[in-house]
Amino acid sequence: MKKILITGAAGFLGSHLCDRFIKEGYQVFGMDNFITGDFKNISHLADNPNFEFIDHDVTEFIDFKGDLDYILHFASPASPIDYLKIPIQTLKVGSLGTHNLLGLAKAKGARILIASTSEIYGDPLVHPQTEDYYGNVNTIGPRGVYDEAKRFQESITMAYHTFHGVETRIVRIFNTYGPRMRLNDGRVIPAFMGQALRGEDLTVFGDGSQTRSFCYVDDQVEGIYRLLLSDYSHPVNIGNPHEISIRDFAEEIIKLTGTTQKVIYKDLPVNDPMQRQPDITLAKKILGWEPKVDRAEGMKITFDYFKSLTEEELYKSEHKDFTGFIKE
């Protein structure tokens, strides 16, 4: 039985990856310190003999006993609400955490896949974004702690690959959605759906002309799975290339939810990307991958998930307190 360590296991994507690799017959070790993750995302695995949870902060030394075949590094705050509130921890998990996991991969002879992001492209001047685009990032802006953590993460990963010969994979993840997203994490899909369920007007920042491309979580997991098992060591975009403006997307959500709220407009946040669309030519060529779930189908599944939340979860406006988790 192959053994895989998945960091950020209690997060949105991490928990779905745990499910997939258990389904594929792996022994899964899930690691998280719950700084942004939630135990309920992996509680269904508590009695699974092929799953073991490790409560640990990856920025601290990782003492893993026994053999290890693969590592997926998905530990990181991933929404603006999180990384604006815990900027130093965001930088540390992308730098120290990645360094620790690359060292572990080297010691164990394991292949490691690191979760990068479309945010390494910043507010892009090239559209759609291809893997050979270097990006347009404000290093000292409010989003810079996340963008630069991920850019450094890619650099140190490639250094370990070229200098130490570690088998590495890099996935650049574009906007992904589905069940287990946090309702109040600040990203547009849970924000719109939460507002609709609470009977609030939908808030669009700027004039709504900025675009996003949304990939359903099952498609994203399939792309990551194929990339891990491929022979390709350079970054690969995994996302859905079907682009939509935020203004039009708000109208889609209103129709989906059957609500009567209107759309209201507020100032655009600093350095918020105006365009976000992956070029997935490379993923098609190298992995034979492209998304299968259309937006209407994926959004209905996601909305049904949010409707199933308790009233307390639905009206919880503040993210949990990070006190006790943060070490600067």
Low-confidence ranges of the chain (pLDDT < 50): 318-319, 321-328
User: How far does Cα 184 stand from its chain's mean position?
Assistant: 15
Catalytic residue among 83, 121, 146, 216: 146
> Is 193 in contact with 254 (CB distance < 8 Å)?
no
pLDDT in tens, 11-36: 999 999 999 999 999 999 999 999 99
Residue 325 has what pLDDT?
A: 41
Output the CA torsion sign for 130, 133, 136, 140: positive
What one-letter code names the amino acid at 158? M
Cα distance between residue 38 and residue 43, in whole Å: 9
Using DSSP's 3-state secondary structure scheme, residue 15 falls into helix
> Is 67 in contact with 104 (CB distance < 8 Å)?
no
Residue 317 has what pLDDT?
A: 53
Is pTM beyond 0.75? Reply is yes
Residue 230 has what pLDDT?
A: 98
Cα distance between residue 44 and residue 33, in whole Å: 18
pLDDT in tens, 116-140: 999 999 988 999 999 999 999 999 9
Residue 319 has what pLDDT?
A: 46
> Is 74 in contact with 6 (CB distance < 8 Å)?
yes
Please report the DSSP string for 16-77 in residue order. HHHHHHHHTT-EEEEEE--SS--GGGTGGGTT-TTEEEEE--TTS-----S---EEEE--S-
Can 146 be counted among the known catalytic residues? Answer: yes
pLDDT in tens, 96-119: 999 999 999 999 999 999 999 999
Q: Which of 264, 266, 261, 265 is nearest to 198 (CA)?
A: 261
DSSP H helices in 160-289? 188-198, 217-228, 246-257, 281-287
Q: Does domain 3-181+216-241+273-293 have CATH number 3.40.50.720?
A: yes
Please report the DSSP string for 88-137 in residue order. HHHHHIIIIIHHHHHHHHHHHT-EEEEEEEGGGGBS-SSSSBPTT---B-
